[in-house]
Amino acid sequence: MTSRVIIIILLFSFGFPSFSQEKTDHISILFYNVENLFDTKNNPDTEDDEYTPDGDRHWTYKRLNNKLLNTSKVILSADGWNIPTVVALCEIENRDVLDMLIADTPLKSQPYKIIHKESPDHRGIDVAFLYNTEQFIPINYKYYPLKNRDGSIKRTREILYVSGVINGTDTIHFFVNHWPSRYSGLLETKQLRASAAKLLRQKVDDLFEQFHSPKIIILGDFNDNPTDESLSEILYAKRINSQIAENDLYNLSFDWGKARSGTLKYQSQWSAFDQIIVSGALLNATSGFVVKPQNATIINYPFLFEKDEKYGGLKPKRTYYGFSYLGGFSDHLPVLLKLERAD
């Protein structure tokens, strides 16, 4: 067991102090698909029945509380002693579970606030944005829904846009995504993710027209790999090369799916659906904050894994396997981006 993991365990045993990042030379941005963070109440307007005490998963307050504690453990340990300035989350049911996360876990000692709204998703799961009020001041936020050809809104997650000032010095534009899943089949759902990619590309281009060399960070579970059409051709998020253009998008996760690694595992196959994409302005920055490609990483602490008895190696330790309760963390691994001072 590493010394960092031992420290994390001790902190959860005796409590976290309040950290201040003002003394550090970097800040961090976390994205995490927390896998079905539901409350225990039945919402008659969404398909959440299985996440109730009488539902198929026998989802109780005790299990919810353990899920919240596990999620807070990931957030607090993601960047060592530094607490993430921004935490982007997906698969959140509602504001209530977010309030519990920052008020009823060790996160209560941290100055986090919430940006969230209910999405039109048929299961009721949303994306959300937590921010450290000592480090980030939001300027604007909007939710962009996916629409059908007739203009009606698709029953899926919206794309969240947040802009704000970090450490009083640098404006950053964030997009938080949870694109339509492959649950109904890869080919059957491909067009849905293409629609999400077109919408996101449109909003990014709007920023390029409105601002000079905006610093943009795109986070999310895209339900596609970096080389898939939606990301590489429609969003046009490229692999980093020797020539970085200020107003192009670069996928810092482009090579994550290689060498039997990634952010989630299906049977024996790893995929990198959880990704970090930035504008060239962040890679070229000479003032404010700058991004170095090696500072976009998958968090792979040992406590996030369990042995894969069927397919070999390790796999993420999730909350349920089928309908069997495991009490783990998520079927996805979190991803982290560190921003350093350029001046």
Band of residue 7 on the pLDDT scale cut at 50, 70, 90: very low
Q: What is the mean pLDDT of residues 216-231?
A: 98
CA proximity to 230, closest of 192, 178, 177, 181: 192
Q: What is the pLDDT of residues 164-193, one digit of tens each?
A: 999 998 999 999 999 999 987 888 899 999
Q: Please give the share of the chain, as a percent, with pLDDT higher than 90.
A: 87
151-160, 195-204, 254-263: least confidently modelled range: 254-263
- Other C-beta atoms closer than 10 Å to the C-beta of 338 total 20
Answer whether residue 321 is part of any domain.
Answer: yes
Q: What is the pLDDT of residues 59-87, one digit of tens each?
A: 999 999 999 999 999 999 999 989 999 99
Band of residue 326 on the pLDDT scale cut at 50, 70, 90: very high
Token look-up 């698909």 returns 33
Instruction: Give residue 183's identity as a one-letter amino acid code.
Output: Y
pLDDT at 324: 95
Paired with 265 in beta bridges are 270
Length reported for the chain: 343
Answer whether residue 2 is part of any domain.
Answer: no
pLDDT at 24: 52
CA proximity to 74, closest of 63, 64, 84: 84
Q: What is the pLDDT of residues 95-109, one digit of tens each?
A: 999 999 999 999 999
Residue 341 · residue 21 · CB < 8 Å = no
pLDDT at 260: 72
Q: How many domains does the chain have?
A: 1
- Provide the residue range defining the domain that includes 69: 25-341
pLDDT at 185: 80
pLDDT at 8 over 70: no
pLDDT at 21 over 50: no
Band of residue 5 on the pLDDT scale cut at 50, 70, 90: very low
Give me the CATH number covering residue 277. Answer: 3.60.10.10
pTM of the predicted structure, to 2 decimals = 0.92
> Whole-angstrom Cα distance, residue 179 to residue 260?
23
Answer whether residue 72 is part of any domain.
Answer: yes
pLDDT at 332 over 90: yes
